[in-house]
Amino acid sequence: MEVPILKQGEYLIASIQSALTDADLLQLRDVLVEHVGRYRSRGVIVDVTALDVMDSFATRTLRDIAHMIRLRGAETVIVGIQPEVAFSMVQLGLTLEEVVTRLDFEEGIAYLNSKKGASTKLGSSLPRRTR
Amino acid sequence: MEVPILKQGEYLIASIQSALTDADLLQLRDVLVEHVGRYRSRGVIVDVTALDVMDSFATRTLRDIAHMIRLRGAETVIVGIQPEVAFSMVQLGLTLEEVVTRLDFEEGIAYLNSKKGASTKLGSSLPRRTR
Amino acid sequence: MSAKDLGISVLGADARVQIRSDSDIVVARQKGRAMATASSFAPAEATLIATAISELARNIVLYAKTGEVILKIVDNGNRHGIKIIAADEGPGIADLDRAMQLGYSTSGSLGLGLPGVKRLMDEFEIVSAPGKGTRVTVLKWRT
Amino acid sequence: MSAKDLGISVLGADARVQIRSDSDIVVARQKGRAMATASSFAPAEATLIATAISELARNIVLYAKTGEVILKIVDNGNRHGIKIIAADEGPGIADLDRAMQLGYSTSGSLGLGLPGVKRLMDEFEIVSAPGKGTRVTVLKWRT
Ligand SMILES: Nc1ncnc2c1ncn2[C@@H]1O[C@H](COP(=O)(O)OP(=O)(O)O)[C@@H](O)[C@H]1O
Ligand SMILES: Nc1ncnc2c1ncn2[C@@H]1O[C@H](COP(=O)(O)OP(=O)(O)O)[C@@H](O)[C@H]1O
């Protein structure tokens, strides 16, 4: 199950559409980190609204994604963690410390926009699919 | 014993009015996490001034509340821990690490305001009761 | 060891709180605080006492389902104290040493209850046997 | 202890999912969620169940390579539950106490799996011996 990655201005948007295997998550990580360099992206939004569970593997991989992208000079925001998923994460003892989380896509974009100067606003052009 | 939750601008304020049972605390957790999404809140203040004890269950539940709300993209501040309560927590070996605590409601609001840009200040409108 | 062996006499009536659900935990700790306050314990001490009762009563609900908390104001000749007995006829504890360890829990909770209560109180005794239930007796002197 | 000893009866057919690769982890947890939802578990509980299955099935893939996850809806007379058995004939676990400790991992991963699953579920049992494989049985009651 490949995760579509859209390029929207300076941002990349990975919108998970369904349950992912561990291999899918690792592939998402590698592709995102590579794309950040190729498209010189400033920010990445990973939308996990449709992810069925956030177990220890998924949490660790999302944390790794955020850290690797940060080392490449861009910001990552995880959006769309549902209440039941947040509950099971906390019960399992999983936290996403040092990773920025926001309610949904709009809040994620607002966060990324707030991190750069007011000069460069999100373009009005349609997002382009990169894979 | 239901905890009233007020909506004040971008914040939710849960002011515990009396001793709470374990079930009351779990209900507070679930309602707050749900309200953060419904009202797109940026911050949550839990005022524990009137809580009679902070035993291991209450401490764990407050920590879970803070972590779950963080996964939903908002900040939580616990305010009003009384000196005797702080003393008994320390004696029991309970800490609220990774959870922001402030002296009282005013300090809690000041903390939340400091976390967002100076542009969006707390409105002067009266808080609205949401439940 | 009974209160008599220690030369401690009981002042006033005992309070007994049946523990059957989480709301009884609140009743028991509020009763303990009220008794402590009535016996001139300082507010910080009364809070310690209420907190210890809360932990012990929750263990009854969690592990034994039902039991009782008995509260007594005692006197050893030169000072007052409050004695708390949390007793149940639940499954008991097989390995007491382990149960008293910081962070040990069979329910996935924090495992701070028993060692923490021991730290909060001046005297602590636990008697438990598998199938026979558990009885925790603690005492806090007024400073 | 078998389900019979506990006075628990099994409702409907078991589901068995063979675990051989990471895609079977997804199959097992989705099957578990579907069964929980069909038995009227609340969404938050169904998510807990799916998450626990995911952790247990991943341990099979990681440490035993192959095994199976068995799912049963059970009933103890007054409530429904779901029972999850994750069984393999892999290397087994020599020190179970250690494996249950928070943060202990032989694979450099988080080591939150087993203690976390225990916290998520109402009942938890693990049987394992070196060379004989591992069997984790957990149960979650519907609230
Ligand atoms: N009244 C009781 N009856 C049976 N077992 C108990 C009782 N109280 C405590 N225990 C056992 O002792 C362990 C440690 O208790 P405690 O330190 O209070 O931590 P926690 O309750 O967080 O697990 C519990 O996990 C449980 O196994
Ligand atoms: N099915 C299994 N077979 C053999 N060893 C296992 C199995 N499940 C768990 N273990 C052992 O128990 C340890 C702790 O497991 P767990 O708490 O799930 O953490 P993690 O999988 O992150 O290491 C593992 O590192 C491994 O050594």
Q: Where are the domains of chain D?
A: 10-141
pLDDT averaged over chain D? 89
Q: How confident is the model at residue C7 (pLDDT cuts 50, 70, 90)?
A: low
Mean per-residue pLDDT for D53-64? 96
- Asked if residues C51 and C29 have their Cβ atoms less than 8 Å apart, the reply is yes
What is the complex's ipTM, to 2 decimals?
0.84
- B57 Cα–ligand 1 center, Å: 13
What is the pLDDT, as a whole number, of residue B127? 58
Helix or strand holding residue A86 (H, E): helix A83-92
From the list C25, C110, C116, which residue is nearest B60 (CB)? C110
Cα–Cα distances in angstroms (integers) from residue C64 to residues B57, C20, C133, in the given order? 17, 9, 8
Q: Which amino acid is at B10?
A: E
Residue given tokens 């962070």 in the structure block = C103
With CB atoms and an 8 Å threshold, state whether C51 touches B88: yes
pLDDT of residue C106: 79
Instruction: Choose one of D55, D63, D85 to mutate for the ligand 2 pocket test, by most ligand atoms within 8 angstroms of C-beta.
Output: D63
Ligand closest to the CA atom of residue B56: 1
* pLDDT for residue C8: 62
C8 touches chain B (CB under 8 A): no
Closest approach of A90 to chain D, Cα-based (Å): 9
pLDDT for the residue B131: 65
Instruction: For residue A1, count CB atoms less than 10 angstroms from its CB and return exposed for 0-12, middle for 13-18, buried for 19 or more.
Output: middle
Pick from A92-96, B114-118, C108-112, D124-128: least confident: B114-118
Ligand 2 centroid from CA D71, angstroms: 20
Q: Which two tokens stand for residue A106?
A: 């709009």
Residue A2 pLDDT exceeds 60:
yes
Q: How far is the CA of A80 from the centre of ligand 2 (A)?
A: 30
Nearest listed ligand to the Cα of residue C97 = 1
Q: Which of D1, D118, D126 to mutate against chain C (most C CBs within 10 Å)?
A: D118
Beta strands per DSSP E along chain A = 5-8, 11-15, 43-47, 75-79, 100-102, 128-129
CB contact under 8 A, A83 and B68: yes
Ligand 2 atom closest to Cα of residue D55: 18
The average pLDDT across D112-123 equals 90
Considering only residues D109 and D72, tell me which one the structure prediction assigns the higher pLDDT: D72
Contact A88 D43 (CB under 8 A): no
pLDDT band at D1 (very low <50, low <70, confident <90, very high): very low
Least confident of A8-12, A122-126, C16-20, C44-48: A122-126
The confidence band for C112, taking pLDDT boundaries of 50, 70 and 90, is confident
A25 vs B: CB within 8 A: no
Dump the DSSP string for B94-131: ---TTSEEESSHHHHHHHHHHHS-TTSPPPSSPPEE--
Short-list B55, B51, D103, CA closest to C112: B55
Q: Confirm or reject: Cβ of D104 under 6 Å from ligand 2.
A: yes
Q: Is the pLDDT of residue C6 over 80?
A: no
- Which pLDDT band holds residue A45 (cuts at 50, 70, 90)? very high
User: For A112, what's the count of Cα atoms within 13 Å in the CB-facing half-sphere?
Assistant: 26
Q: What pLDDT score does C10 carry?
A: 66
**Structural domains for chain A:** 5-125 (3.30.750.24)
d(CA A15, CA A3): 6
Q: In the structure, what pLDDT confidence band is assigned to residue A124 with cuts at 50, 70 and 90?
A: very low
Q: Is the pLDDT of residue D103 over 90?
A: no
Is the CB of D25 less than 8 angstroms away from the CB of A94?
A: no
Q: Does B64 touch chain C (CB under 8 A)?
A: no
Q: How far apart (Å, rounded) are the C-alpha atoms in residues C92 and C64? A: 8
Strands B128-129 and B5-8: antiparallel
Burial class (CB in 10 A: 0-12, 13-18, 19+), C67: buried
Question: Does residue B103 register a pLDDT over 90?
Answer: yes
Which carries the bigger pLDDT value, residue C31 or residue A95?
C31
- Residue A17, amino acid: Q
Architecture per CATH, D10-141: 2-Layer Sandwich (3.30)
> Is A56 in contact with D25 (Cβ distance < 8 A)?
no
Mean pLDDT of D27-36: 96
Nearest-neighbour CA in chain A from D123: distance (Å): 15
CA D38 from chain center: how many Å? 18
